[in-house]
Structure 1
């Protein structure tokens, strides 16, 4: 659906004077989103709960991007009560885009909870970003973008609106997929509410496709890759990609003026790898009735409403 005719992932448009926040920008895909955005001349703020890892990421970006204007801010999405203070401490008077990238993925039981008693993956990946959006909204400039990062796995899931916290049947991979699905449903619903309110801010949903460390360029000491790992990963490069390429859909959603709110962008080849392209939005992702129920539950659980 999307055309890459006029979009070059290696020659991004300038964004001098603009300010972008990337949650989880200290590692993985989020790091490469931050690195690529820093190359446009924008001010990039990395939101991270680990100050030491954030500093390592900043050092890496500065070593690769001449005159990079990057800094970090403490941000713990699993601690809802801390988010307003974290936003205040950023000292921003404007924000041109936020990339909701940070996430928690647990591989094994037992089920874990946040300090507020929410299931950890749902509480961090969805509720944390939901609440953060509410606190950031006064800073969003006309024409700004809220970029919500979903996942390929999330597209395959269905929400259980009667058990959002996975209390009855906790399976880590399914719970993770549902938490990412909740993010995507939130993104489409938020854009509908922005349009209804006449806002000039747009919300765009993206997903990175399949991304492996073995296919990811080295950024020592943040990420190191041996020759053996690289060789073992080469066959998988026919199907998936590294995390540098996985950052492309989010970066395009921030920078490309042709991208509109309510759209979804992901890798071009089967949604798993390749240049960023617009994807069709499946019905279960944009169902307004289910989204309204998720929104109401999220407001009740966080105590804030991003649409207000």
Structure 2
């Protein structure tokens, strides 16, 4: 490319998002760290620059739980070559989980639409989505109120959205594409330390045989951004049992790509956010 790839990573100040940003910077990309905290984003940027001299990295104030604020966040960006919808929380009230992990990214996609006309839109899901199913009458898990299940469902909603988005982009002959990835089993205890961002706790040998660190968990997302052979509608995850190893192309489970469920989820997401994503994308 004539200029560095310009990539927004939501939740780029910590965890898998941080390592996604670091690895993209190592590859020469210009990286925007979407984060609620200026302090945490500054620490992440410093850690990246310490490992990648000359890295082009900056902070974008971004709070996915605050939907009305997302327009002003998007207004602070230049056109993007890719966006990685990575940010997420795992321990909160069920409605907060769904609002942050799915609706926040859905709304952000709406406000980013003018910047994504030929971009790669990467949605980071979770291994937890494999065992869950969406309840279209209770998307926010208000009746069951099981935090663990609500997290898995919010991640499944994101993955379903990513596949549906690509179907709509293809139907509209868009130059943009949507790709879904997941990090496998990524543990803090197997993640290398980064000053100011992460301190590696005690590890276990058994976990290292079955799972991997968040640095490795970031690789499918980085691969989806940078590899020219990646195609829209694909799912990328770790090679070994979907839990660890180098990125490889996976066959998504049928419930992740069910078109009728995805269409209903899309419509309900428009209703809950008050934003018609299809209209603004010309889909």
TM class, shorter-length = over 0.9
Q: Which residue of 2 aligns with 1:218?
A: 193
CA distance in 2, matches of 1:200, 1:163: 34
Q: Which residue of 2 aligns with 1:5?
A: none
Q: Give the TM-score normalised by the residue count of structure 2.
A: 0.96
Give the alignment's Cα RMSD to 1 decimal: 1.3
Q: Structure 2 matches for 1:1-308, cutoff 5 A? A: 16-88=3-75, 90-92=76-78, 94-106=79-91, 111=93, 119-142=95-118, 144-225=119-200, 229=202, 232-308=203-279
CA distance in 2, matches of 1:61, 1:181: 30
Are the aligned partners of 1:191 and 1:262 in contact in 2 as well (CA < 8 Å)? yes
Deviation sequence 1:211-267 (CA, Å, 0-9, x none): 1111101101211125xx1xx323211100000000000000001111100010000
Are the aligned partners of 2:122 and 2:221 in contact in 1 as well (CA < 8 Å)? yes
Q: How far off its partner does 1:191 sit? A: 0.3
Moved over 4 A (4+): none
Are the aligned partners of 2:117 and 2:174 in contact in 1 as well (CA < 8 Å)? no
CA distance in 2, matches of 1:234, 1:138: 47
Q: How far off its partner does 1:194 sit? A: 0.4
Are the aligned partners of 1:194 and 1:307 in contact in 2 as well (CA < 8 Å)? no
Q: How far off its partner does 1:305 sit? A: 2.5
**Which has the larger share of helix?**
2
Q: Give the TM-score normalised by the residue count of structure 1.
A: 0.88
Ranges in structure 1 where 5+ consecutive residues have no aligned partner: 1-13, 113-118
